[in-house]
Amino acid sequence: MNAFWLSYLTVREALFKGTLLFFFAIANVIIVFFIFAIDSTDGGISIFGNPITPRGIPDFNFVDFLFLNLFSSSTFWVLLFGLFATAGLIPAMLEKGTVELYVSKPISRPLLLISRSVGACAGIAFNLVYFSLAIWLIIGVKTGIWHQGFLLASLAVIPLFFFYYSVVALIALLSNSTGFSIMFALIFWFFSSALHLREMVLYPWWDNVVFHRLLDSLYYGTPQVSAMLDSATRLIGPDIMRRPTMLAQEGFDPLPFLYSLLSSSLLYAIACWWFSRKDY
Residues that bind other proteins (CB under 8 A): 1-2, 5-6, 8-9, 12-13, 16, 95-108, 277, 279-280
Residue number with CB closer to other proteins (8 or 220): 8
- Cα separation, 64 vs 68, in Å, equals 6
Identify the DSSP state of 106: S
Residue number with CB closer to other proteins (25 or 101): 101
Kindly compute the dihedral angle of the four CA atoms of residues 185, 191, 193, 199, in this order, to the nearest 10 degrees.
Answer: -160
- Cα separation, 172 vs 181, in Å, equals 5
CB of 186 to other proteins, least distance (A): 25
- Cα separation, 234 vs 65, in Å, equals 12
Residue number with CB closer to other proteins (119 or 149): 119
CB of 105 to other proteins, least distance (A): 5
Q: Max Cα separation, the chain? A: 67
Pairing label, strands 44-47, 50-51: antiparallel
Nearest to 160 by CA among 193, 200, 121, 195: 121
Residue number with CB closer to other proteins (16 or 146): 16
User: How many angstroms from the chain centroid is the CA of residue 200?
Assistant: 24
Residue number with CB closer to other proteins (58 or 97): 97
CB of 4 to other proteins, least distance (A): 8
Angstrom CA distances, 197 to 44, 138, 168, 216, stand at 35, 35, 23, 11
CB of 96 to other proteins, least distance (A): 7
CB of 74 to other proteins, least distance (A): 28
Beta bridge partners of 274: none
Residue number with CB closer to other proteins (101 or 241): 101
Residue number with CB closer to other proteins (5 or 33): 5
Geometric angle at alpha carbon 65, from 122 and 125, rounded to 5°: 0
CB of 9 to other proteins, least distance (A): 5
CB of 27 to other proteins, least distance (A): 22
Beta bridge partners of 38: 47
